[in-house]
Chains A and B, each alone.
Chain A
Amino acid sequence: MAKKVGTEASFAVADAVKLANVDVIAAYPITPQTHIVEKLSEYVADGELDAEYICVESEHSAMSACCGSSATGARTFTATAGQGLELMHEVLTIPASSRLPMVAAICNRALSGPLSVWGDHSDLMGVRDTGWIQIIAENGQDVHDLTIAAFKISEHKNVLFPVMIHMDGFHLTHVIEPIIIMDQEDVDKFLPPFEFDNKLDPHYPVSQGTYAPPHIYPEIKKAQDVALVNSKETIKNIFKEYGDLFGRYYNPVETYMADDAETILVTMGSFSETATLAVDKLRDEGNKVGLIRVRLWRPFPFEELRDAVKSVDSLIVLDRAISYGGPAGPLCSEIRSALYQEKKRPQIISFISGLGGRAIDPEHFESMILHGQEVAQSGSNNEYEILGVRE
């Protein structure tokens, strides 16, 4: 039986990877990802997980080894954060275009400089266009469930894309909370073995990663995009299957008190749970506020988002990353773009906060929402506003 235990979110990821009976792990240590890979190393060392743990010499080699492993037909996992994800960047486009399934836990961390080991979404946004499926977790239960689901999504014949599970550095990775750790029998029922059709095998030689001149490159890229967009349906189906089996449902866009809301705050990641406290308080005071959390960042859930905000007057979008000199925070840009063609569209206010691990407390969320409502009423020429910063 699955049982609820007090454990760290990072360990819940490691447990999920063990339950998925992963074959190859290739990872390089980086704060705040280390607890995941340390735990996995222990599992391998103790014989609790029969896997090859490749202690690579860089994240670039971690992702490269993952490509080789997946191409050989092995279930493959890695984990990294911040600068590690940046160092992987060159390699990230390979599994996405070569359609190599794998799962990566990304412990979101701010990017240098100045150096910061603490969390924000700069790294997540930096790899936005590499072609991965990006799923955002909010708490320890999420990371456990979504990591297991991610293997099924990634290896599904209709998908065959690598998947990132994003978890906020420290604010989620290092939190100890009650988490239901899945039972091996249940996971085996849900997650079939990885069967890869084009694996590297001397008896069925295939060439992988051939190069494409202009007469074929655009066709390959369009096919990749179409496949990623289409993967959303399979992702939703797998989320539903997981929910039907285990009672915990996940959605591309999660809503909280949003049905009759006049103002909706939009967030991503672990800070969303803090934001619910502010929403509750404002609701008690008669302020019709709601919350939307974007869970599926790529492929972006356009329809689900439009559906969730169709009757709202104003949206306040919180980003935890800056698109320097750009139109708004990256999440807000996406939302403005998603709603631009709508006949009735809300006012959309872009706030950036919580950079480099700076906490956003419930009272900060409360004042953020109130300030957003003020701006929505009075209007502002600001593309975006960076909040909670000493002037």
Chain B
Amino acid sequence: MEKYGLYVPKLAPQKEYFAPGHRACVGCGEMLAVRQVCKALGKETIVINSTGCIEIVSSLFPDTSWEMPWMHTLFDNAAAVASGVESAIRVMQRKGKYRDGKVNVVAMGGDGATFDIGLQALSGAMERGHDFIYVCYDNEAYMNTGIQRSSATPYGAMTTTSPPGKKSIGQATWKKDMPAIAVAHNIPYVATASPAYPFDLMAKVKKGAELKGPAYIQIYSPCPTGWRSAGEISVKLARLVVETGAFPLYEVENGKYKLSMDFEKLRPIIDYMKPQGRFRHLTESDLVLIQKRLEDQLQELRDKSNAN
């Protein structure tokens, strides 16, 4: 694992489409994931971005970090805007009004834009079968507005609107199973990824782009600011979250589940939670409850994966 630092830069495409100089926090896992996604997609790509950290740090007028055509309109509609772009290219290519050749249309947003406010637009775009990729960068809360809970926030986590207190454990609900919602749309490709596994991540994005029809990819995106964790351990957290079973990596191709990696023995959840201030208040029994839930969820995924 330690050798990643040596061979990733050699094996990954050199070309950057997300230029440095943006205003993301030190140790931002989301921007690392954005870079990997862009490398995987390559030049023939149009990015539709919802409002959120990515948009804010990369597009302060008149600067831009985007070396790809990029469009931002609102918080809640990236998938719908992407529908319009994809349809426009399709009809104009048919009418000879747009350059021939495959163009990857990718909509991207955070977990708030995906799980919550943009869910309807995303559902519509997936149901209609547009040939596009939706990438959700999941940092498990509304980080851009100041760490408010979303339906992606894990049980027990402290956020500014799910503060632990005498009558509160913190986030009182379990993380919404957004990939399952995407799968329920019968789309060709759904996957989860983590920037600690860049080749897995890039292969999934590539596959999503190559398959015709909608693809939904949910990428775990460490947020040192929102999670009260040290910036230098973001990649480590992105690995621990997988090794503890808190964010299993898998793909669902045409409805068939496949775990991308599995572990004979999961690392205890404490290893993942301890370095993060957002879980600091949790008790031993809280952790037992969480560990059990995560193991059950992983077993469900294993069962689905083995059923194929």
Q: Which residues of A contact B (CB under 8 A)?
A: 23-24, 26, 50-52, 54-58, 60-62, 64-74, 76, 90-91, 94, 98, 193, 200-213, 216, 220
Contacts and interface: CB of A to CB of B under 8 A. Distances in A.
Given A23-B97, A56-B128, 10 more contacts: A23-B92, A24-B88, A50-B95, A64-B73, A64-B83, A76-B88, A90-B76, A193-B97, A205-B68, A210-B61
B72 A211 contact: yes
Interface of B: 43-46, 48, 55-56, 59-64, 66-74, 76-77, 79-92, 94-95, 97-99, 103, 120-121, 123-125, 127-128
A61 B70 contact: no
Given A64-B121, A202-B68, A202-B103, A211 B85 contact: no
A51 B68 CA distance: 27
A73 B69 CA distance: 13
Given A26-B83, A72-B88, A201 B73 contact: no
Interface centre among A55, A71, A73 (most CB of B within 10 A): A71
B107 to A, nearest CB: 9
Interface centre among A50, A60, A64, A211 (most CB of B within 10 A): A64
A23 B121 contact: no
A59 to B, nearest CB: 10
A216 B88 contact: no
B91 A24 contact: yes
Contacts of A26: 83-84, 87
Contacts of B127: 57
Contacts of B44: 202
B61 A212 contact: yes
Nearest to B82: A68
Contacts, number: 172
A50 B87 CA distance: 12
Contact of A200 (B62, B69, B80): B69
Contacts of B90: 52
Contacts of A24: 84, 87-88, 91
A210 B68 CA distance: 14
A56 B80 contact: yes
A213 B56 CA distance: 11
Contact of A68 (B55, B67, B88, B98): B88
Given A203-B99, A210-B64, A60 B88 contact: no
A74 B124 contact: no
Contacts of B63: 210
Contact of A56 (B61, B67, B83, B103): B83
Contact of A201 (B55, B61, B69, B84): B69
Given A24-B91, A50-B95, A202-B68, A211 B59 contact: yes
Contacts of A70: 84, 88
Contact of B85 (A71, A94, A193): A71
A116 B128 CA distance: 30
24 contacts: A23-B88, A61-B77, A61-B79, A61-B121, A64-B80, A67-B81, A67-B84, A69-B85, A70-B84, A71-B71, A71-B84, A72-B85, A72-B89, A72-B92, A98-B73, A200-B71, A202-B69, A205-B68, A208-B71, A209-B59, A210-B64, A211-B72, A216-B61, A216-B62
